[in-house]
């Protein structure tokens, strides 16, 4: 006999079954994805970030680029500004003395190079305010003939600069060192054994009426090409 049962069935509806099946599949896929990410994260990161896309810190050359003939060396020289900004001396487009090198100081800053090869021989500064001229005199006396000398003032270059030191710098081709005074700004390029006066020199006197930085004159700079020393 056919029996018909009237009332709510205990069997789940097809739509409900499909929903729970979808949830179960989604959980399985999510779990498997997390497992893969944890296991292969290092490999994925290497593959997806090529070396050429990595940021690299670039160093900026503080020297201007100058082009000279084969028988000349390029240079750029800058005096200090007051007692705040140190001088800068570049040779063949490379910084040899400056803030970045941490080799500047009050007084006369100097770089000495081989006039034939351009090889660096010496860098240093000589305190002409609280120091004395002796170390500078000794340096210039032992400098070999054919050397190129670049000098730049910072803060105060003259108080302890005696006549012997001035004469040695005059012998390098300077015209202004004899009148270099308190807190003047001065830059100079000369050579040991130079037979003529150097044309690479600038000098600004400390003048309260004209100064740019209170009791200091403005910064000065100079660039050019120096002929190689021919023995």
Q: Token pair for residue 166?
A: 């001035």
- The CA–CA distances, whole Å, from 47 to 37, 50, 76 equal 14, 7, 46
CB 153 within 8 A of CB 161: no
> Among residues 144, 138, 182, which one has the least CA distance to residue 160?
182
CA dihedral 102, 72, 61, 192 (to 10 degrees): 10
pTM for this predicted structure: 0.74
Query: Using CA atoms, how far apart are residues 166 and 151, in angstroms rounded to an integer?
Result: 13
Q: Using only C-alpha atoms, what is the Rg of the chain?
A: 37
CB count within 10 Å of CB 162 equals 13
- The tens-digit pLDDT sequence of the chain (231 residues) is 434 343 444 555 556 566 667 666 667 666 666 665 565 554 434 434 444 434 445 567 899 999 999 999 999 999 999 999 999 999 999 999 999 999 999 999 999 999 999 999 999 999 999 999 999 999 999 999 999 999 999 999 999 999 999 999 999 999 999 999 999 999 999 999 987 788 999 999 999 999 999 899 999 999 999 999 987
- The CA–CA distances, whole Å, from 26 to 21, 32, 204 equal 9, 10, 81
């Amino acid at each position: 006999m056919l029996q018909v049962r009237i009332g709510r069935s205990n069997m789940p509806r097809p739509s409900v079954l499909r929903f729970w099946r979808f949830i179960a599949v989604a959980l399985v896929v999510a779990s498997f994805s997390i497992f893969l990410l944890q296991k292969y994260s290092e490999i994925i990161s290497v593959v997806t970030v090529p070396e050429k896309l990595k940021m690299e810190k670039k160093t900026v050359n503080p020297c201007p680029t100058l082009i000279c003939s084969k028988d000349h060396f390029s240079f750029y020289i800058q005096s200090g500004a007051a007692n705040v900004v140190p001088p800068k001396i570049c040779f063949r487009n490379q910084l040899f003395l400056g803030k970045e090198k941490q080799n500047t100081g009050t007084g006369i800053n100097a770089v000495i190079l081989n006039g034939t090869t351009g090889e660096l021989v010496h860098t240093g500064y000589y305190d002409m305010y609280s120091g004395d001229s002796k170390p500078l005199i000794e340096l210039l006396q032992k400098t070999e003939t054919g050397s190129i000398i670049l000098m730049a003032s910072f803060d105060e270059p003259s108080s302890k600069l005696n006549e012997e030191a001035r004469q040695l710098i005059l012998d390098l081709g300077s015209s202004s060192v004899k009148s270099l005074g308190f807190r003047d700004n001065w830059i100079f390029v000369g050579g040991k054994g130079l037979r003529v006066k150097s044309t690479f020199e600038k000098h600004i006197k400390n003048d309260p009426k004209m100064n740019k930085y209170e009791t200091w004159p403005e910064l000065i700079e100079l660039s050019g090409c120096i002929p190689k020393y021919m023995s």
